[in-house]
Amino acid sequence: MIERLIDKLNKLDERTRYSPMVKRALDKIEEICIKSTGKKNEWVHEGRKFFLEWPEFESEDVSFVTGKIYEKVGVSSRFMGSYKIDKNGNIVKFPFFKR
Protein backbone atom coordinates (compact mmCIF):
# COMPACT_ATOMS: atom_id res chain seq x y z
CA MET A 1 0.00 0.00 0.00
CA ILE A 2 2.73 2.48 0.95
CA GLU A 3 4.68 1.61 -2.20
CA ARG A 4 1.66 2.46 -4.39
CA LEU A 5 1.21 5.79 -2.64
CA ILE A 6 4.91 6.63 -3.06
CA ASP A 7 4.71 5.62 -6.73
CA LYS A 8 1.70 7.90 -7.30
CA LEU A 9 3.42 10.81 -5.55
CA ASN A 10 6.58 10.31 -7.60
CA LYS A 11 4.57 10.54 -10.80
CA LEU A 12 3.14 13.93 -9.86
CA ASP A 13 4.84 17.01 -11.18
CA GLU A 14 5.64 18.97 -8.03
CA ARG A 15 3.52 21.94 -9.12
CA THR A 16 0.39 19.77 -9.47
CA ARG A 17 0.36 19.44 -5.68
CA TYR A 18 -0.40 23.13 -5.14
CA SER A 19 -3.86 24.64 -4.99
CA PRO A 20 -4.91 26.18 -8.32
CA MET A 21 -4.46 29.71 -6.96
CA VAL A 22 -0.95 29.09 -5.61
CA LYS A 23 -0.04 27.28 -8.83
CA ARG A 24 -1.19 30.35 -10.81
CA ALA A 25 1.21 32.56 -8.83
CA LEU A 26 4.07 30.09 -9.27
CA ASP A 27 3.33 29.94 -13.00
CA LYS A 28 3.63 33.74 -13.16
CA ILE A 29 7.00 33.64 -11.38
CA GLU A 30 8.12 30.88 -13.74
CA GLU A 31 7.02 32.93 -16.76
CA ILE A 32 9.09 35.92 -15.59
CA CYS A 33 12.11 33.68 -15.02
CA ILE A 34 11.83 32.06 -18.45
CA LYS A 35 11.62 35.47 -20.12
CA SER A 36 14.75 36.54 -18.24
CA THR A 37 17.00 33.47 -18.56
CA GLY A 38 15.13 30.67 -20.32
CA LYS A 39 15.12 28.71 -17.04
CA LYS A 40 12.11 28.05 -14.83
CA ASN A 41 13.55 29.28 -11.56
CA GLU A 42 16.31 31.76 -12.47
CA TRP A 43 16.29 35.44 -13.38
CA VAL A 44 18.71 38.33 -13.79
CA HIS A 45 18.24 41.58 -11.88
CA GLU A 46 20.62 44.51 -12.40
CA GLY A 47 23.23 42.18 -13.90
CA ARG A 48 23.11 39.71 -10.99
CA LYS A 49 21.78 36.15 -11.30
CA PHE A 50 19.27 34.79 -8.82
CA PHE A 51 17.34 31.56 -8.41
CA LEU A 52 14.60 30.29 -6.17
CA GLU A 53 13.66 27.02 -4.61
CA TRP A 54 10.08 25.97 -5.28
CA PRO A 55 8.14 25.67 -2.03
CA GLU A 56 7.24 22.35 -0.50
CA PHE A 57 3.79 21.25 -1.63
CA GLU A 58 1.08 22.48 0.66
CA SER A 59 -1.04 20.63 3.16
CA GLU A 60 -4.74 21.34 3.63
CA ASP A 61 -4.25 23.71 6.56
CA VAL A 62 -1.55 25.95 5.09
CA SER A 63 -2.47 29.61 4.70
CA PHE A 64 0.62 30.41 2.62
CA VAL A 65 3.70 28.82 1.01
CA THR A 66 7.25 30.13 1.24
CA GLY A 67 10.49 29.52 -0.56
CA LYS A 68 14.11 30.65 -0.50
CA ILE A 69 15.90 32.95 -2.94
CA TYR A 70 19.64 32.72 -3.67
CA GLU A 71 22.14 34.74 -5.66
CA LYS A 72 24.60 32.88 -7.88
CA VAL A 73 28.11 33.88 -6.95
CA GLY A 74 30.68 32.18 -9.16
CA VAL A 75 30.26 28.45 -8.66
CA SER A 76 28.43 28.83 -5.35
CA SER A 77 25.34 30.63 -4.11
CA ARG A 78 24.37 32.98 -1.30
CA PHE A 79 21.02 33.11 0.52
CA MET A 80 19.34 36.43 -0.29
CA GLY A 81 15.88 36.17 1.24
CA SER A 82 12.56 34.48 0.82
CA TYR A 83 9.20 34.80 -0.85
CA LYS A 84 5.68 34.17 0.34
CA ILE A 85 2.46 33.35 -1.53
CA ASP A 86 -0.85 33.30 0.31
CA LYS A 87 -3.52 30.64 -0.17
CA ASN A 88 -5.37 32.92 -2.62
CA GLY A 89 -2.34 33.06 -4.92
CA ASN A 90 -1.28 36.58 -3.97
CA ILE A 91 2.46 37.10 -3.96
CA VAL A 92 2.77 38.69 -0.53
CA LYS A 93 6.56 38.95 -0.43
CA PHE A 94 9.05 38.68 -3.28
CA PRO A 95 12.18 40.80 -3.45
CA PHE A 96 13.00 42.26 -6.88
CA PHE A 97 9.52 41.87 -8.42
CA LYS A 98 7.35 44.96 -8.71
CA ARG A 99 3.81 44.65 -7.43
The 3-class secondary structure across 37-96, one letter per residue, is HCCCCEEEECCEEEEECCCCCCCCCCCEEEEEEEEEECCEEEEEEEEEEECCCCEEECCC
Dump pLDDT digits (tens) for 30-67: 999 999 999 999 999 999 999 999 887 655 556 788 88
Rounded to an integer, what distance in angstroms lies between the CA atom of residue 99 and that of residue 3? 43
Question: Smallest Cα–Cα separation from 55: which of 10, 31, 77, 87?
Answer: 87
- The helix (run of H) or strand (run of E) holding residue 24 is helix 20-37
- The answer to whether the predicted template modeling score (pTM) of the entire model surpasses 0.75 is no
| Model confidence band, residue 87 (pLDDT cutoffs 50, 70, 90) | confident
Q: What angle do CA 9, 24, 85 make, to 5 degrees?
A: 90
Dump pLDDT digits (tens) for 1-17: 667 666 655 555 554 56
Dump pLDDT digits (tens) for 76-86: 999 999 999 98
